[in-house]
Structure 1
C-alpha cells in the first residue's frame, strides 16, 4: 500500500515508469536509482531514469543491489531514492519503493500526490540541465558501512540462503570478511527465483533444516527477493518466528525498548515486560516501525512478517543489517540458539473474503462491539482483544478485499474457545462465515 506494484507488461509498464520519473523530477532535482535482480527490473529502472532526465533531474544510478543499498543512499548519502522491486512477490511482479533524503519512506499522501501528478500530465520541458552519473561504487560503500555495524563478529557457522535474489550480491562475501564460516545455498542470482520462489516462508525454506543439521551450523538464514525480509533457523534446523528471533536479539543486545506491530505474538510482549522493558505497539506494515524509529524511539523494531529495524535504526529495515544484529546477539549469548528461544503459543489465522468496502464496515462494527465488551482492547489497526487465556485481532487487509483474523492462546482448548467467540462476533457484525 505504500509503494507502486503490479504485474510487468499488464498494469505495470516501462511507460508508467517513464511518467513516474518525470513526475518525481518536479519534486527532486537530484535522484538516485537502483533495483533488485528480477528480470524486469533493469528495463523499469532505465525507464525511470529516462523520465527523470526528461524532467531535468540529475540522476545517480547505483545499479543492482539489495534494498539496503537504497536505504543507505537515502539515509547516509541524503539522496531521494527510487528502488525498483516487488520484494517477496513472484517474478512476474515488479514495483517501486521511494525514499526521501534522510531515509524516510514516502507516505500514502505523497504517493497520492505522485499519482495525481502523473494523471494530470507531466511536463517534458526540462527546467534544469539533466545528466546521469553511474555510481557502481555505492554498492561497495554500502558493504563497507555494513562491516562497521557489528561491535563483534565471526566464530559462527552459518547456512545462508539468499533465495537467488539481490542479497546474493553482498551477503556471502560480507559474512566471510567478518570472519563467519558460510555455507551457501541459492546464492547465485536468478531473475526468476527458480529454486524456491522469493518469499522466505517457513514452508518455502523448510529444506534449509537439512544443511543446517548436516553441516552442524549454528544458524540458518534465508532472504526474500530484495533482502528486506529474513527468516532464521536454529542449530536444530527449526525455523524461528520473527518474535522468537526478536527475543534472541533482545537478550543478546540487552534491548529495553521494542517497537512491535499489533499482530506480533504475545510471547514478545510478555518477554519484554517481564525483563523490565517497554513495547510500543504500531499498526501492521513495515512503514510504521520505520517511522517510529525515525522519530527517535530507538531500540528494536519487529514486524510480524519478518522485517526488523536494528542497530537503533542505523539502516532502518535492512535485512542484511538484521542478520548481522542477530548473529552478534547469538555470539554474545553463547550456547546454541535453541537454548535462548521461548516456545510459541498456539495460533490460528482466518482469512474472510468480503469485498473492499465491506471489509472496513465489518471491522468498524467489530471495534464498536468488542470495545464495549472488553477492557483490554487496542484499535490502532482493526481491533485486538487481550484476555488471560490469549488474544485475537480482527483487521482489514492492506492489499486484498479480505478481513484477517489472528488468534493466539496457551492451549488448544483456549484457542478453540477464542475462535468460537470471534466467529460469533463476526457473524453478528455481518461477516460471511
Structure 2
C-alpha cells in the first residue's frame, strides 16, 4: 500500500518513503503553504529518520530556503521553536506505529496544517522542481532545553518535591527532556528501560504485557508515579503508584482544571466524565488534532483541547503556580504529565486519589492491526446503514439508546455503556473505544467487541 497523506502527515513503509518522494512532498508543502523563509526540521529515534531528514533538508535548501536542523527532539518542542520564530516545520516521525514505517508531520508558521492545506499540498505534488539556489543550513541545539524550561518556569522548582517518579525511556525523543524537567521541579527520577532500538508505544492502546511491566516497576521501585510518551512525544503516558494507567481523557480534564480553562474541545471518543466537571462548555469534534484546533480557534475564551491519546493543546496564555505558560496549539506531552502531578501534590493527595475523586466513568481502547482501512469502513458502514445487522452484531448488549456518527459509529446503551468503532486515520487498524462505570467493565466490553469484529473483518 502506498504512503498515505492526511492532516496527520505522511505515513508509510520506510521502503516506500524514497528520497524522491520525501523531497516531492517537501517541495509541495513549501509551494502550497506559507513558510516564513525557513523550515525547522526535527526527527525521532527510528533508524530510518536521519536519511529522511536529510532528504527534507536537501529539498528545503533546493527551494532556496533556510533549513534549521534540530536533530532529535519532541514534536511539540519543534513546533514551539518554529511557531515562536514564525516559520514552518517538518517533523520526521511515524509517531507510535512500528519501526518499519515512518512519516512526515507538517507545521505552518501558525501551527498544524488543516484539511485545506492538505488538499493544496496534494495538488502541488509533482509540479515543483528545485530552484538553482542553495538555501542556508543552520544546526540548532537550543529547542530541547527551552522546551523543558517552559514547564519549570510555569510550575516552579518545588512543584514535584517529595515525589519519586519513574520515566520509561524506551525510544521516546522526550526521554532526556522528561528527566530534566521533572528533576528540576524537585522530583526524584528513576530512569527505566532506555532502548537503543525503536519501541512503538501507543499511549491510547497499551498492551497487557506492557501494563504488567509498568505495574512491576511501580512496586519494585516504590514509585509515586511513572511517566512516558509515544515515539515523537506528542502524547503522554501516566501511571499511578499502583501501576494503573491514567487515560489521556482523564489527564486532559485534570490539566484543564489546573489551568483554569473555561471551554473544552475534545473528540467524540473522549470520556464523558468531563461533561460533569462544571466547565462552561464541552465541544465535541471528529477525532484528530486538526478538528480540535479548528473548534478551539472558533472560541474566544480560555479554551483548551485534548484527545483520548493524551495530547493536550493550550489555547490561551495560562498561569501556572510559578509563572505564565504560553499558548501552544499543538499536541503536547509534558503539560498533561506535569499539571496533574503538581495538582495532586498541592492538594496533598496521591495521583490515584486525585483521579478517584472524578465521576466514575472509565474508558478502554485498543485496536486490531493489519485490517485495511477500506475493510474497516465497509464493515462500519454496514452497521450504520443496516439496523438489523447492527442489532444482530450487538445482540448481547443492552438496548440501544443513542447513535453518534460524528466519527465512525458511537453507540450508547441502556446500561450506561458506550461502544465506539472507527478505522484508524493513519494506519491499517480497526479501533474500538468502550466506556462504562468501572475499569473492568469497560475493558471487558472493549475486548468482547474487538473479538466479535475480528471474526467478521480480521
Distance in 2 separating the partners of 1:264 and 1:98: 25
> Which deviations, in whole Å up to 9, do the C-alpha atoms of 1:370-426 show, x marking residues without a partner?
79x97743322123233442223243432456664444344899989x99xx99xx9
The residue that corresponds to 1:225 in the other structure is: 231
The structure 1 residue matched to 2:355, chosen from 333, 337, 341, is 341
Is 2:251–2:336's contact at 8 Å kept on the other side of the alignment?
no
DSSP 3-state at the match of 1:340: helix
Closer/same/farther in 2, CA of residues 369 and 274 from structure 1, 3 Å limit: farther
**Structure-2 change in CA distance of 1:358 and 1:22 (3 Å):** closer
1:321-347 CA deviation, whole Å, 9 max, x = no partner? 322223222223321111122455476
State the match for 1:302 in structure 2: 306
1:279 aligns with 2:285: no
Where does residue 327 of structure 2 map in the other structure?
A: 314
Deviation at 1:177, TM superposition (A): 1.7
Q: Distance in 1 between matches of 2:89 and 2:168?
A: 27
1-structure distance, mates of 2:9, 2:440: 41
Q: What stretches of structure 1 of length at least 5 have no aligned partner?
A: none
Greater mean deviation of Cα atoms: 29-38 or 48-57: 29-38
Q: Give the aligned partner of residue 43 of structure 1.
A: 51
Deviations 1:89-115 (A, max 9, x none): 222221110100022x11344234324
Alpha-carbon deviation of 1:311? 7.4
Given candidates 130, 136, 140, the residue that maps to 1:124 is 130
Q: Structure 1 runs of 4+ off > 6 angstroms?
A: 411-416
Residue 274 and residue 50 in structure 1: after superposition, are their counterparts in 2 closer, same or farther (change >3 A)? closer
What residue in structure 2 maps to residue 186 of structure 1?
A: 193
Q: Deviations over 1:270-323 (max 9, x none)?
A: xx3254553211112233233333444644423122322257483331112322
Task: Measure the CA separation in 1 of the matches of 2:375 and 2:46.
Answer: 35
Per the TM alignment, residue 222 of structure 1 is displaced from its structure 2 partner at its CA by: 1.6
Asked if 1:236 corresponds to 2:242, the answer is yes
Indicate yes or no: 2:113 matched with 1:106: yes
**Separation of aligned partners in 1, 2:126 and 2:18:** 15
Structure 1 Cα separation of the partners of residues 442 and 188 of structure 2: 42
> Residues 162 and 224 of structure 1 are in contact (CA less than 8 Å); yes or no, is this contact kept in structure 2?
no
Contact (CA 8 Å) 1:163, 1:223: kept in 2 or not? no
Is 1:56 the counterpart of 2:61 in the alignment?
no
> Is the contact between residue 234 and residue 240 of structure 1 (CA under 8 Å) also seen in structure 2?
yes
Is the Cα contact below 8 Å between 2:296 and 2:315 reproduced in 1? no
**Residues 1:4 and 2:10 aligned together:** yes
> Structure 1's 283 and 227: CA in aligned 2 closer, same or farther, altered over 3 A?
same
User: Using the alignment, how far apart are the partners of 1:285 and 1:358 within structure 2?
Assistant: 21
Q: Is the 8 A contact 1:5 1:96 kept in 2?
A: yes
Give TM-score scaled by structure 1 length: 0.82
- CA shift, 1:118, in A, is 2.9
Aligned to 2:340: 326
Deviations 1:44-103 (A, max 9, x none): 111111111112112222222111222102332211000111111222221110100022
Change in 2 beyond 3 A, CA 1:228/1:414: closer
Give 2:105's aligned residue.
97
Distance 2:291 2:219 in 1: 36
Does residue 157 (structure 1) correspond to residue 164 (structure 2)? The answer is yes
CA distance in structure 2 between the aligned counterparts of 1:63 and 1:351, rounded to whole angstroms: 33
For 1:346 and 1:141, the matched residues in 2 are separated by 34
Partner of 2:18: 13
Given that 1:25 and 1:57 are in contact with CA atoms closer than 8 Å, whether structure 2 keeps it comes out as no
Instruction: Name the counterpart of 2:322.
Output: none
C-alpha distance 177-349 of structure 1, shift in aligned 2 (>3 A): closer
Q: C-alpha separation between the residues in 2 aligned to 1:94 and 1:414?
A: 35
In structure 2, do the counterparts of structure 1 residues 335 and 30 end up closer, same or farther at CA, with 3 Å as the change threshold?
A: same
How big is each residue's C-alpha offset from its partner over 1:18-37, in whole Å with a ceiling of 9 and x where there is no partner? Answer: 33333344343321111122
Task: Give 1:386's aligned residue.
Answer: 412
Kindly state the Cα deviation for residue 219 of structure 1 after the two structures are TM-superposed. Answer: 1.5
User: 1:351-362 to 2 correspondence within 5 Å?
Assistant: 356-357=373-374, 359-360=376-377, 362=379
Q: SS of 1:233's equivalent?
A: strand
Paired residue secondary structure (1:288): helix
Q: Is the partner of 1:211 in helix, strand or coil?
A: helix
Q: Quick check: 1:395 aligned with 2:422?
A: yes
TM-score w.r.t. the length of structure 2 is: 0.78
